[in-house]
Chains A and B, each alone.
Chain A
Amino acid sequence: MSILVYANTANNKVHKSAFEAVSYGALIAEKSGDTVTAVVVGNADDLDTLGKYGADKVLHVTNDKLNDFQPTLVAQAIQHAAEENNASIIVFSHDLSGKSVAPILAAKMNAGIVTGAVDLPQKNADFIVKKAVFSGKAYAHVKITTPTKIISLTPNALEKKEFNKTATVEDKAYELGDSRLKVVEQKFQSTDLPLTEADLVVSAGRGLKGPENWGMIEDLAKALGAATACSRPVSDMDWRPHHEHVGQTGVAIRPNLYIAVGISGAIQHLAGVNQSKVIVVINTDPDAPFFKAADYGIVGDAFEVVPKLVEAAKAIN
């Protein structure tokens, strides 16, 4: 048997979340003795790094039809690889590409699937995977009852482990169907790291009073090596780009550290950040609901506190 992991790429690099997925597969394999096979679709120049995080073998699928992101065709390629390698477990990252491809594969293979896993599966009599539900307010332990099992792993949920294997790379030219989807244009954000994959995030809300005051937030993020985010009103007023909006309608994130400046902590905002490992809240209002969800807090004026934090962060590094 083997464990198959879809390792997605962008700009010729394997994604950080893909390394986490490979490491997750390898941690399962460590107990079961299965081999770990990573499937890469399209080009990447750091395929050997997949061995570092636990892949025994890399299947490099090349096909001109896959130059654009075609979820249906990617699912076909993975299904070929799964059948060829007699895969019992197929692992995805629960990022935007995993969310597109994994459900298609589950339907095609009639495989039970758990999306958004936050821990390794429990394998006693039953195969049970823990996932966050109710927008982070609870967890469900979900039993998969089919022989082939699909799991997609929430980014930043598990620390990736180094296995330092040397993976063999095989090129694969699977026959794929045709897609009716045509990509016309791609617009990538200037930031290197998608918000969902950032370990540290500095976020700010309406308390900052206007877009012209974001310099100190960016300075703090830079000094800490963090990504920047914002609350919904801030993105609705176009103070900040929409992709920075975290919360129920924006993106849900799970960083190690979430610093919220001038955000009151409405339940819709918490739904997007309550899975963060450590939450810091800086707010002038001691009664802001966010303090109840926070690990550390400062009651104070952001315009005084944040510049001091920037200086202190610079001093550390």
Chain B
Amino acid sequence: MKILVCISKAPDTTSKIAFTDNNTAFDKNGVQFIINPYDEWYALVRGLELKEVNGGSVTILNVGGADNDPTIRKALAIGADDAVRINMEPTDALGVAKQIADYAKENAFDLVLCGKETIDYNGSQVGGMVAAFLDQPFISNASKLDMAGNTATVERDIQGGKEIVEVDTPFVLSAAKGMAEARIPNMRGIMAARSKPLSVVEPSAFENTTEIASYELPPAKGACKMVSADNPAELLNLLRNEAKII
């Protein structure tokens, strides 16, 4: 089974978010970058587990510049076989999806896995777009994925519940919590990752459909108004008459 896992690079969850260039660019100063957690913990690790049971290969795909290579090496250290970086700064989800789909078309994967969203842009877009470009089924927010031959049984989150669906390969899936447990790369994995193939592919032509005009930080929260533990009824009074929400 040939599995493609799409990973994005994202600032560590605890990063301080600030902007530069008149609020048009994210300030990368002092920011630690990680593999987007949904891509790593759920899509990549489940891909590896399926490979360990069924054989095959796990290829990492990332769209980004050369500064993403350490992040890609980490995915190789966790256990992927090889990696491809499409050499383009990602600025538009549709553009990123087009690059992924173009690569996937040429290399016929059984499964294309990604996380349900990135923790920086929070778009939840790329998986569905890749599926559309490939004319393949898309299963979003999947919390379980089991394979029997070419047939997958997938549990997906739907509004108000869960659904179990069956689908034959090839398909595209976005992974959510429940799919797998995070793996920490061991020393052997880290050493092996250094010599695993990471090829760089130039992007195909694409015209952006969106661009970020500017960023904005939310207004600073005012001080928390404290209510005495002896008089919780006062809290409800404030919520009703001051905040006017109950």
Interface set of A (CB-CB < 8 Å, partner B) = 8, 10, 15, 69, 71-72, 75, 94-97, 99-108, 110-116, 126, 128, 130-135, 137-146, 179-189, 191, 194, 200, 224, 242-243, 245, 248-250, 256-257, 267-268, 271, 277-278, 280-281, 291-301, 304-306, 308-309, 312-313, 315-316
- Looking across the interface, which residue of chain A has its beta carbon closest to that of B209? A112
Per-residue interface assignment for chain B, residues 222 to 246, with 1 indicating a CB less than 8 Å from any chain A CB and 0 otherwise: 1011111100110110111001011
Q: How far is the CB of A56 from chain B (nearest CB, A)?
A: 25
With CB as the reference atom, state the residue of chain A lying closest to B160: A194
Q: Nearest-CB distance from A186 to chain B (Å)?
A: 5
**Is A104 within 8 A of B160, CB to CB?**
no
Among B119, B159, B160, point to the contact of A271 (Cβ < 8 A).
B119
B229 contacts A300, C-beta separation under 8 Å: yes
Going nearest first, the 7 A-B pairs with the smallest beta carbon separation are: A300-B229, A103-B128, A112-B209, A107-B132, A188-B161, A312-B233, A107-B129
A110, A295, A305, A312, most chain B CB atoms within 10 A:
A295
Question: Are the CB atoms of B240 and A316 closer together than 8 Å?
Answer: yes
CB pair B137 A179 closer than 8 Å: yes
Q: Report the Cα distance A295→B38, complex, angstroms.
A: 30
Q: Which residues of B pack against A, CB within 8 Å?
A: 11, 13-14, 17, 19, 37-38, 41, 92-94, 97, 116, 119-133, 137-141, 153, 157-168, 171, 177-178, 208-218, 221-222, 224-229, 232-233, 235-236, 238-240, 243, 245-246
Is the CB–CB distance between A295 and B221 below 8 Å? Answer: yes
17 contacts between A and B (CB under 8 A): A15-B159, A75-B132, A100-B128, A139-B216, A180-B171, A187-B162, A191-B160, A200-B245, A268-B13, A271-B13, A291-B224, A292-B224, A297-B227, A308-B232, A309-B235, A313-B236, A316-B236
* Residue among A106, A134, A249, A298 making CB contact with B232, cutoff 8 Å: A298
Contact check, A116 vs B122: say whether CB atoms are below 8 A apart.
yes
- A72→B137 contact, CB < 8 A: yes
Query: With A15-B159, A250-B177 as given contacts, are A138 and B17 in contact (CB-CB < 8 Å)?
Result: yes
Q: Which of B121, B159, B208, B235 contacts A97 (CB 8 A)?
A: B159
Closest CB in chain A relative to B158 CB, distance in Å: 6
Q: A105-B132, A106-B132 are in contact. List 7 more A-B contacts (CB 8 A).
A: A75-B132, A96-B158, A103-B132, A107-B133, A114-B210, A142-B213, A257-B246
Bound state CA distance, A103 and B171, in angstroms?
15
B141: which A residues are within 8 A, CB to CB? 96, 99-100
Number of inter-chain CB pairs below 8 Å:
264
- A128 engages B165 (CB within 8 Å): no
Residues of A within 8 A of B138 (CB): 71-72, 100, 104
Residues of B within 8 A of A298 (CB): 226-229, 232, 235
Q: Which residues of B contact A139 (CB under 8 A)?
A: 215-218
State the Cβ distance, B147 to closest chain A Cβ, in Å.
15
Q: A96-B141, A138-B17 are in contact. Are A249 and B215 (CB under 8 A)?
A: no
A76 to chain B, nearest CB (A): 10
- Among B14, B137, B240, max chain A CB count under 10 A is at B137
A residues in contact with B131, CB < 8 Å: 72, 104
Residues of B within 8 A of A94 (CB): 124
Contacts of A301 in B (CB 8 A): 229
C-alpha spacing A99/B11, complex, angstroms:
23
Q: Are B164 and A115 in contact (CB under 8 A)?
A: no
Residue in contact with B211 in the complex, picked from A8, A131, A142, A194, CB distance below 8 Å: A142
Interface of A is mostly: mixed
A313 to chain B, nearest CB (A): 6
Instruction: Decide if A296 touches B227 in the complex (CB within 8 Å).
Output: yes
B228 neighbours in A (Cβ, 8 Å): 298
Q: Please tell me if the beta carbons of A96 and B177 are within 8 angstroms of each other in the complex.
A: no
Min Cβ gap B165→A in Å is: 5
From residue A231, how far is it (CB to closest CB) to chain B in Å?
13
B209–A293 contact, CB under 8 A?
no
Q: Which residues of A have CB within 8 Å of B92?
A: 112
- Give every chain A residue within 8 A of B162 (Cβ-Cβ): 186-187, 243
What are the residues of chain B within 8 A of A304 when measuring CB–CB? 229
How far is A69 from B166 in the complex, measured between Cα atoms in Å?
13
Q: Is the CB of B168 within 8 A of A180?
A: yes
With a 10 A CB-CB cut-off, give which of B162, B164, B210 has the most chain A CB atoms.
B210
> Of B121, B226, B235, B245, which is in contact with the most chain A CB atoms at under 10 Å from its CB?
B235
User: In the complex, what residues of B have CB within 8 A of residue A135's CB?
Assistant: 13, 119-120, 122
Q: Is the CB of A257 within 8 A of B245?
A: yes
In the bound complex, CA of A121 to CA of B214 (Å)? 14
Q: Which of B161, B165, B171 contacts A189 (CB 8 A)?
A: B161
B19 neighbours in A (Cβ, 8 Å): 138
List, in ascending order, chain B residues with CB within 8 A of A97's CB: 158-159
Q: How far is the CA of A95 from the CA of B140 in the complex (A)?
A: 11
Chain A residues with Cβ below 8 Å from B125 are 102-103, 106, 113, 115
Query: When A103-B93, A141-B212, A297-B226 are in contact, do A134 and B163 touch as well, CB less than 8 Å?
Result: no
CB of B215 within 8 A of CB of A185, answer: no
Among A133, A243, A280, A306, residue most surrounded by chain B Cβ atoms (within 10 Å): A133
